[in-house]
Amino acid sequence: MNWPTELIGQKMRRNLVVGNWKMHGNMQSNQLLLNRLIKGLSGFKNADYVVCVPSPYLFQARLLLENTNIAWGGQNVNQHEQGAFTGAVAANMLTDLGCTYVILGHSERRNLFYENNLTAAARFDAAIKAGLTPIMCVGETVAERDAGLTEVIVAGQMDAVLASLGDKEFAKAMELNMVFAYEPVWAIGSGKTASPEQAQSVHQFIRHRIARRNAEAASKVRIIYGGSVKAANAEELFTMPDVDGGLIGGASLNADEFEAICQVANSLQASTCLAE
């Protein structure tokens, strides 16, 4: 489906690359990886870079990444501010550790830990209240795609979040530069990347969904793609008009791969978009 380009706006958005380490790493391997990235990414001024590390290592990330051009964030947050919620992490705990971003609604959280659209929306609200930039993940399973339901599923996931935000919360989310991530479940960790055209089509749909609420916001919101992104396919994906970078799982654990992906985001930005 093609939306009028004036609704979509020019690609003036700064690219964003987020590493999602999932449940990987230890003190020693993290230190090696982060030190490599600090050095490798230091000259990349045209895009934004984030690593979302397991909670026990956020303090280590803070120690190493403070005063670099790499931000750090959490992989989830609980919707409650505090209390008897064994095993949960509150949004203020993330900000206390210097986090500026948090991944929400990842399909692994939805599928393995029974999270759903409602809890994702509640977590989104908790994140913005604490001043964290939410990276809200949406995406369909292969069965849903095969049944032609991609847009229905993604619309449901988007609308659950958008409908839960009052005007004040929506403005706050914009102030915090909220991010959406399109992650087709069938592409995550599978080595099967969505084609640039498949990604573009859903990204455009997501942007239009936001435009129904606020057209100006829609042209500013960054929508990143996740699902088997690697150095070899980053460029074809990131050049699509509505793809503003990537959410990188497996390849974010490899310093060379992650650096190469960040380099693509950085150099595309320099050539096609206004750098900040």
The residues of the shown chain that bind ligand PGA, judged by CB under 6 A, are: 20, 183, 188-189, 226-229, 247-251
| Shortest distance in whole angstroms from residue 147 CB to ligand PGA | 22
Least distance to ligand PGA, CB of residue 55, Å: 17
Closest residue to ligand PGA, Cβ-based? 249
Of 169 and 235, which CB lies nearer to ligand PGA in the complex structure?
235
Residue 189: CB minimum distance to ligand PGA, A: 4
* Cβ proximity to ligand PGA, 130 vs 246, nearer residue: 246
Q: Which is nearer to ligand PGA, 158 or 165 (CB)?
A: 158
Set 108, 115, 140, 183: catalytic member = 183
Tell the smallest beta-carbon distance from residue 59 to ligand PGA (Å): 23
106 an active-site residue? Answer: yes
Q: Which residue has the tokens 């935000």?
A: 165
Beta carbon nearer to ligand PGA, 8 or 102:
102
- State the catalytic residues: 106, 183
